[in-house]
Chain A
Amino acid sequence: MAAISELTDEEFLLKGNSACAGCGATMAIRWVLKILGRDTVLVMPAGCVSVFQGMFPASAFDVPVVDSSFGAQSSFAAGLAAAYKIKGRRLKVVTLAGDGGTADIGFHAVSAAAERGDDVLYICYDNEAYMNTGVQRSSLTPYGAKTGTDPKGKLEWKKNLPLIMAAHNITYVATASVGYPFDLLRKVKKAASLSGFRYIHILTPCPPGWGSSENLAAELGRLAVRCGIFPLFEVENGRLTLHKVGNRVAVRRYLELQKRFEGLTDEQIQYIQKRVDDDLRYLELLEKVTSEVNRAGQVDRT
């Protein structure tokens, strides 16, 4: 990709859904579905998306959707994929879940699906907390962010879920951000063309939950990448490819746009900057080291 003209005019995430004004997840999901197209079956657990999809009898999606219990989405999807396989139906099974449902309560099932190599495309929309139930921290909430269950700010660093998924040696892993839509679209297209378990982790800023203006989702998505706190990378055949975008920006510029980081001391901000720099360096080293690796053909669960 990608030129805007290549994208279909069809809408699969319909207008009139009850998402909050400025919701980053709606941006990502709308584009994702335009790439995936009509022959897609969505599985989604409890979360923002399962709420803004609408109350009976409405549905905001123009593709079939199965709502699962919280944490069971990967196993629901596993069953669907197995059924379609044995019946010879060529439908894309796509799991769409938030950070809480993926990294916490559903993690055991996501890991199992990855280990089995289920033929499922798993998309995690990461708004960095349990946003649907108010704002409570998840393991993907960043260090220092205030939430209802961590009113003084989270003390633990954000769990690196994309790297954990990559360690499962699955077909494809990618991170993406609503700040870089064409990059996201390219990755979804690539993932859709592959088989086996594929995992895309999208940063989807949540203005109400992060304490920012409603119009800042895309900007926050850009800054998160440019300051290095959310790096863009892909892992395929054991090889990690890091995408640097423009000049590095100080993390402070990203943090100061969000009330959830209000009150961070200079010391804490320095800690974040250092940690972000270290983690980025770690990825750079991984990229170098894995450039000599080629696991093509080793991901062959059929």
Chain B
Amino acid sequence: MATAAELFARAAAYDGWFVQSTPFFGAERRGALVVAYARASDSRIWLREPVYNPDILIVFDQRALSEESVLSGLKEGCKMLVNSNRSPEDIKANIGKNVQVFTVDASEISAKYLGRPVVNTTLLGSLASVSKLISLQSIRRSILYRFPKTDIEATMKAVEEAANRIAGTYLS
């Protein structure tokens, strides 16, 4: 998941953005809640701090939605992209803020093309549609750079489907 932030940042850089990405550094043990941050800007980024009020919050595992800390920084009108088989309306109802919720079942999509849930790369496709910051070509380049031995065609099929199969709510 820290990898996803890195993949996004590299893709955004290929698309001409100034970028920054950081994993959050807590005790890194398997199974713990992990957070990563990424920024894209049209000028050099000087900030050296976590993203407190994201424009886009991406949730890789919907179980994280039950954590208070995950939802606390959401600002009005921001976008949420959740890897989930639930409906966006359902998720939005439990959040209690006026945010735009997008869902995509990235686990299922990636399992379909890659044989197992590989949410990291697949969700980038949805992120491309939701953020309009990165292109599919850049995603492809970014994935190949980081995972040169991967089956890129199958991965990109998952990415493309994730780009198209998003359900979303509108701002109320």
Residues of chain A having any CB pair with chain B under 8 Å:
18-21, 51-52, 55, 208
Contact = CB atoms under 8 A, between A and B. Distances in A.
Interface in B9-38: 27, 29-32
Interface in B31-50: 31-32
Contacts of B30: 20-21, 208
B27 A51 contact: yes
B27 A20 contact: no
Interface residues of B, number: 5
A18 B27 CA distance: 8
Contact of B27 (A21, A55, A208): A55
A19 B29 CA distance: 7
Contacts of B32: 18
10 contacts: A18-B27, A18-B32, A19-B29, A20-B29, A20-B30, A21-B31, A51-B27, A52-B29, A55-B27, A208-B30
A124 B63 CA distance: 39
Contacts of B27: 18, 51, 55
Nearest to B29: A18
Contacts of B29: 18-20, 52
Given A18-B27, A18-B29, A18-B32, 9 more contacts: A19-B29, A20-B29, A20-B30, A21-B30, A21-B31, A51-B27, A52-B29, A55-B27, A208-B30
A20 B30 CA distance: 6
Contacts of A21: 30-31
Interface of B: 27, 29-32
A55 B32 CA distance: 14
Query: For B27, B29, B31, B32, which residue has the most chain A Cβ atoms within 10 angstroms?
Result: B29
A85 B27 CA distance: 38
A210 to B, nearest CB: 14
Give the top 3 A-B pairs by smallest Cβ distance, nearest first: A18-B29, A18-B27, A21-B30
B34 to A, nearest CB: 13
A208 B29 CA distance: 10
Contacts of A18: 27, 29, 32
A243 B130 CA distance: 64
A21 B29 CA distance: 8
A200 B158 CA distance: 52
A130 to B, nearest CB: 15
Query: For A18, A20, A21, which residue has the most chain B Cβ atoms within 10 angstroms?
Result: A18
A84 B155 CA distance: 63
Contacts of A51: 27
A232 B57 CA distance: 53
A99 B31 CA distance: 26
Contacts of A19: 29
A55 B29 CA distance: 13
Contacts of A208: 30
A151 B32 CA distance: 27
Nearest to A207: B30
Nearest to A214: B30
Nearest to A134: B28
B170 to A, nearest CB: 42
B33 to A, nearest CB: 12
A18 B28 CA distance: 9
Nearest to A21: B30
B151 to A, nearest CB: 19
A226 B35 CA distance: 42
Contacts of A20: 29-30
B14 to A, nearest CB: 27
B87 to A, nearest CB: 33
A216 to B, nearest CB: 15
A19 B27 CA distance: 10
B28 to A, nearest CB: 9
A55 B30 CA distance: 16
A13 to B, nearest CB: 16
B149 to A, nearest CB: 13
A47 B32 CA distance: 19
A52 B30 CA distance: 12
